[in-house]
Structure 1
């Protein structure tokens, strides 16, 4: 968001994350986005917490690995809803901050965004690589300055399950929702 603001591009944050589980985690992450958007006077659209639809789509993929077909389904679902909103509300470009994370596959994200945009005349997906030119390092700096919530797993119930299983196996404590914030580690 900082880079987009600096470039003079007018944009809106569209928050559609029915994958985030449990609701407590969803609410924390959404409130962080709202706080940052308000601070920078960025319009914020709060879409449905369409969790039943997400779990329905994920059925049969519960044991797929991170970056696998479940993640593709999740990206597709969220980008499809984003592209529809863009089309219905006069936006011509969509993009995502998902790619800033080193844990995500940029090609997988960009393919989902491009597929979704291609469904609508006049909508394109911006494939900018937010990791380049120190983007990931800057994201961590901002997170510490803003004391953002530290997201310790991707967001979905299966990512939480798998992360906690890995932690237990490696002698680490399970994730405690709502407790870790950047700058307070």
Structure 2
């Protein structure tokens, strides 16, 4: 099942047997999903991204992730679109830059929810697709993940570097193969604002939600 390329076999740390994968979107999680599937790792997807704005964009990203999960028969946990709590936590950080304290808050919030679900449902390992993107600060993401599992003595955050050994390149190839929806900004309203300001300054059109998809080579 699936178009797998040659990969090194990977395994969960410390003999663990299943993992809860926090997924931010299908393009970022596609390579991770296929890599774990190819290595026979038992995993479940946890979709909790209340930062994504507007709701139309949130639905598109979630639906693409659901579609790909169904293709491989992977369990998909659809968590709340808890945008009001996200906006409350982001209050006062509206002008913070990307990769700054607002992003730390956002990662913390999403990983705290992931870790709680993992604790309540018997997962001892969590990880995330966020770190595969070159636009993200992997150290920042890992620190948030490690912090989220601290309240749970028998839980670990898997800091595997999904970018290495061609992971970032395969992420793009899978996105093209599957014709995934191609989001053009990180996700939150402030990222949308700043990205549009940059585009306008450089003579480009504003982002049009739902208009951009990866194009298959076939």
Q: Taking structure 2 as the reference length, what is the TM-score of the superposition?
A: 0.84
* 1:22 and 2:54 correspond: yes
* 1:68 and 2:100 correspond: yes
* 1:168 and 2:204 correspond: no
> Size of the alignment, in residue pairs?
185
The equivalent position to 1:36 in structure 2, one of 60, 64, 68, is 68
The aligned counterpart of 2:117 is 85
**1:48-127 equivalence runs, <5 A:** 48-127=80-159
* 1:11 and 2:43 correspond: yes
1:106-148 CA distances to partner (integer Å, 9 max, x unpaired)?
Answer: 0000000000011112110000111101111100000001000
1:131-184 CA distances to partner (integer Å, 9 max, x unpaired)?
Answer: 101111100000001000001100000000000000000111111000110017
Q: Distance in 2 between matches of 1:139 and 1:12?
A: 19
The aligned counterpart of 1:141 is 173
SS of the aligned residue for 2:77 comes to strand
The aligned counterpart of 2:188 is 156
Structure 2 residue ranges without an equivalent (≥5): 1-32
Q: Distance in 2 between matches of 1:31 and 1:183?
A: 18
The aligned counterpart of 2:15 is none
Please give the root-mean-square deviation of Cα atoms over the aligned residues, in Å: 1.0
Q: Distance in 1 between matches of 2:83 and 2:216?
A: 31
Structure 1 stretches of 4+ with a deviation exceeding 4 A read none
The equivalent position to 1:177 in structure 2, one of 199, 209, 212, is 209
Q: Distance in 2 between matches of 1:184 and 1:158?
A: 31
